[in-house]
């Protein structure tokens, strides 16, 4: 049976309904387009930020598009090598973005240059994933007032790249994946200059790494508590030594981190492709984030910030969980997830220096190599490390708060400057 | 892109008939159905969602 209400004044009712629909369209448009405005990042707080570039400086096709994004250049007091931090490759994994924002506003490197991109897939921050009931924003309490951030989608906004193919074929390998992965920035490396919108973003990042001779690239992610690579660093083969040395140093501080080598048969991922197509040492890290899994309850901003979920606690009690010390009482607060990322970034910078500082002294070896007619811009040292001409083997991020301090006081470091709140 | 223009043209085509139908339909419930369908189609036409 269908409900039916006949009317003789159908034109009048149609006009009223049209007006209501127009009102709804205006209201929803204003809501959805709020996500098109980038979150403010207060780089002015940090005198070490010497320059703000754009990704379109490295791939001009992105100019004026939703894919263009800020690159913050943070310079150390002394010369050293360059590091690239990628936050927000997946815009629904906020700890990576927030860790990057923290670095832009607070990092004072001692040696080397750190390039930080908090919103690497800016176009992913302009919408939500469908059918997830995710919040569009979440807000943290800083000493100078609440500060709002966008909570975006895993993939590029379909408004920017459409339609999806049935099967996504990765350009340089021919690997076949589900069609929607064509908009997943962490499946499109190394990208193509004339490729899809998302491939163009990957391509811009590859050009940045090549142009600035980025020695270490760290891609920040989060995953659900049942996912096998949470609390793990995935490293391309050349970066394995840095990853394992950094991991052991973190062990001393009581932070558990597993290390895995990049798969050689799975293409499009940042670590494997950047490691293959550029001279960077490529790493990717994941923290545990209950708002991403399939088992959690209501997907609100509280879940994104505090990570307290009774259903995950039940899953752990019933069948166990990869995130083995998960509890509903403590949850997985975003401060802790960001603290993990920052502590690990610092540990890997230190590990890089530990592994490669001797390389600076190997300048003689380079001369020997070139005089042998090898003309190499890179060469192995006695420990088997690949040394690149012109690199100093030093990245020193300077003084950073301890992991425990960040776990409790992170939001203090993200305060909005007076007059801008 | 050509495919986007075709896609938008299809939306305009559908919207025209849905609104036409809304004004000629005597059943208020079906008019409400039409009004609801208009909302996502216009958001898509404007490339907002
Ligand atoms: Zn991710």
B24 touches chain A (CB under 8 A): yes
Gap from CA of A108 to ligand 1 centroid (Å):
27
Residues in chain B: 49
In this structure, what token pair is assigned to residue A302? 């509280």
Per-residue confidence (pLDDT) for residue A388, from 0 to 100: 78
Burial A313-340 (b: 16+ CB within 10 A, else e): bebbeeeebbbeebeeeebbbbbbbbbb
Per-residue confidence (pLDDT) for residue A366, from 0 to 100: 53
Check residues A230 and A386 and name the one with the higher pLDDT.
Answer: A230
Residue A276 lies in a domain: yes
In this structure, what token pair is assigned to residue B15? 């919207």
Nearest to A32 among B4, B23, B49 (CB): B49
Percentage of chain A exceeding pLDDT 90? 84
Per-residue confidence (pLDDT) for residue A357, from 0 to 100: 80
In this structure, what token pair is assigned to residue A316? 């752990």
A130 touches chain B (CB under 8 A): no
Is residue A343 a contact partner of residue A406, using CB atoms and an 8 Å limit? yes
Residue B3 has pLDDT above 70, yes or no: yes
Q: What are the C-alpha distances in Å from A57 to residues A52, A53, A235, B30?
A: 11, 7, 28, 53
Mark yes or no for CB contact A25/B39 under 8 Å: yes
CA pair distance A68, A71, nearest whole angstrom: 10
Is residue B24 a contact partner of residue A10, using CB atoms and an 8 Å limit? yes
Mark yes or no for CB contact A159/B49 under 8 Å: yes
- Show the beta-strand stretches assigned E in A247-362: 258-261, 281-288
Nearest to A119 by CA among A61, A35, A195: A35
Angle at A372 between CA A368 and CA A377, to 5 degrees: 70
Per-residue confidence (pLDDT) for residue A241, from 0 to 100: 93
Mean pLDDT computed over A245-262: 93
B35 touches chain A (CB under 8 A): yes
Report which DSSP code applies to B27.
B
Residue A84 lies in a domain: yes
Provide the pLDDT confidence category of residue A356 given band limits of 50, 70 and 90: confident
Report which DSSP code applies to A55.
G
Residue given tokens 């899994």 in the structure block: A293
Residues in chain A: 421
Nearest to B22 by CA among B48, B45, B41, B44: B41
Residue A310 lies in a domain: no
CA pair distance A71, A117, nearest whole angstrom: 5
Which CATH number covers residue A214?
3.40.630
Helix H or strand E segment including A146: strand A145-150
How many Å separate Cα A393 from the centre of its chain?
24
Angle at A382 between CA A380 and CA A387, to 5 degrees: 30
Residue A377 lies in a domain: no
Residues 6+ apart with CB under 8 A from A358: A381, A383, A393
**DSSP per-residue string spanning A327-357:** -TTT---HHHHHHHHHHHHHHHHHHHHHHHH
Q: Which domain holds residue A263?
A: 39-295+332-357+393-413
Residues 6+ apart with CB under 8 A from A282: A217, A219, A235, A236, A239, A262, A270, A271, A272, A274, A275
Residue A378 lies in a domain: no
Residue A33 lies in a domain: no
Gap from CA of A353 to ligand 1 centroid (Å):
27
pLDDT tens-digit map of A158-185: 999 989 999 999 999 999 999 999 999 9
pTM of the model: 0.94
The neighbour count for residue A248, using CB atoms within 10 Å, is 13
The neighbour count for residue A385, using CB atoms within 10 Å, is 19
pLDDT tens-digit map of A124-158: 999 999 989 999 999 999 999 999 999 999 999 99
Per-residue confidence (pLDDT) for residue A9, from 0 to 100: 83
B2 touches chain A (CB under 8 A): no
Distance from CA of A29 to the nearest CA of B (A): 7
**DSSP per-residue string spanning A1-41:** -----B-S-HHHHHHHHHHHHHHHHHHHHHHHHGGGSPPP-
Mean pLDDT of chain A, nearest integer? 93
Residue A331 has pLDDT above 80, yes or no: yes
Is residue A421 a contact partner of residue A139, using CB atoms and an 8 Å limit? no
In this structure, what token pair is assigned to residue A167? 């099967």
Report which DSSP code applies to A183.
G
Q: What are the C-alpha distances in Å from B1 to residues A66, A158, A180, A201, A297?
A: 16, 14, 19, 19, 40
Of A12-26, A363-377, B20-34, the least confident = A363-377
Nearest to A299 by CA among A147, A158, A131: A131
Per-residue confidence (pLDDT) for residue A3, from 0 to 100: 84
Percentage of chain B exceeding pLDDT 70? 100
Per-residue confidence (pLDDT) for residue A198, from 0 to 100: 98
The structural domain count of chain A equals: 1
Gap from CA of A421 to ligand 1 centroid (Å):
30
Per-residue confidence (pLDDT) for residue A7, from 0 to 100: 81
Per-residue confidence (pLDDT) for residue A361, from 0 to 100: 57
Per-residue confidence (pLDDT) for residue A377, from 0 to 100: 66
């Amino acid at each position: 049976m269908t409900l039916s209400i006949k009317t003789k004044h159908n034109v009048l009712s149609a006009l009223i309904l049209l007006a209501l629909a127009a009102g709804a369209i205006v209201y929803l448009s204003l809501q959805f387009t709020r996500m098109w405005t980038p979150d403010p990042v207060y780089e002015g707080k940090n005198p070490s930020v010497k320059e703000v570039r754009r990704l379109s400086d490295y791939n001009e096709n992105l100019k004026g598009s939703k894919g263009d994004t800020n690159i913050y250049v943070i310079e150390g007091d002394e010369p050293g090598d360059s590091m690239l931090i990628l936050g927000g490759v997946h815009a629904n994994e906020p700890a990576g973005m927030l860790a990057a924002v923290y670095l832009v506003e607070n990092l004072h490197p001692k040696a080397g240059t750190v390039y930080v991109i908090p919103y690497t897939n800016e176009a992913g921050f302009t919408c939500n994933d469908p059918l997830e009931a995710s919040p569009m924003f979440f807000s943290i309490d800083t000493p100078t007032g609440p500060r709002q951030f966008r909570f975006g989608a895993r993939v590029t906004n379909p408004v920017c790249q459409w339609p999806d193919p049935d099967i996504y074929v990765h350009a340089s390998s021919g690997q076949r994946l589900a069609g929607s992965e064509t908009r997943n920035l962490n499946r499109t490396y190394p990208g193509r200059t004339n490729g899809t919108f998302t491939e163009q973003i990957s391509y811009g990042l590859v050009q940045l790494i090549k142009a600035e001779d980025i020695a270490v690239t760290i891609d920040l992610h989060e995953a659900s508590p049942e996912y096998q690579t949470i609390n793990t660093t995935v490293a391309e083969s050349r970066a394995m030594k840095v990853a394992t040395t950094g991991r052991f140093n973190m062990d001393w501080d009581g932070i558990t981190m597993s290390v895995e080598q990049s798969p050689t048969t799975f293409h499009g991922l940042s670590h494997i492709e950047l490691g293959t197509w550029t001279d960077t040492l490529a790493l990717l890290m994941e923290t545990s984030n209950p708002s991403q899994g399939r088992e959690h309850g209501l997907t609100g901003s509280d879940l994104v910030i505090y990570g307290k979920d009774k259903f995950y606690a039940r899953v752990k009690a019933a069948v166990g969980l990869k995130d083995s010390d998960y509890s509903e009482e403590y949850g997985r607060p975003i401060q802790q997830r960001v603290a993990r990322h920052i502590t690990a970034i610092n540990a890997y910078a230190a590990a890089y220096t530990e592994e490669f500082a001797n390389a600076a002294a190997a300048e003689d070896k380079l001369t020997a190599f070139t005089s042998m007619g090898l003309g190499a811009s890179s060469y192995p040292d006695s420990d088997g490390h690949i040394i690149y001409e012109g690199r100093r083997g030093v990245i020193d991020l300077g003084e950073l708060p301890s992991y425990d301090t960040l776990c409790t006081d992170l939001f203090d470091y993200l305060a909005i400057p007076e007059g801008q709140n | 892109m050509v495919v986007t223009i075709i896609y938008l043209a299809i939306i305009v085509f559908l919207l025209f008939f849905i609104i036409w139908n809304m004004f000629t339909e005597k059943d208020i419930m079906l008019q409400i159905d039409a009004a609801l369908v208009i909302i996502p189609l216009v958001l898509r036409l404007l490339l907002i969602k």
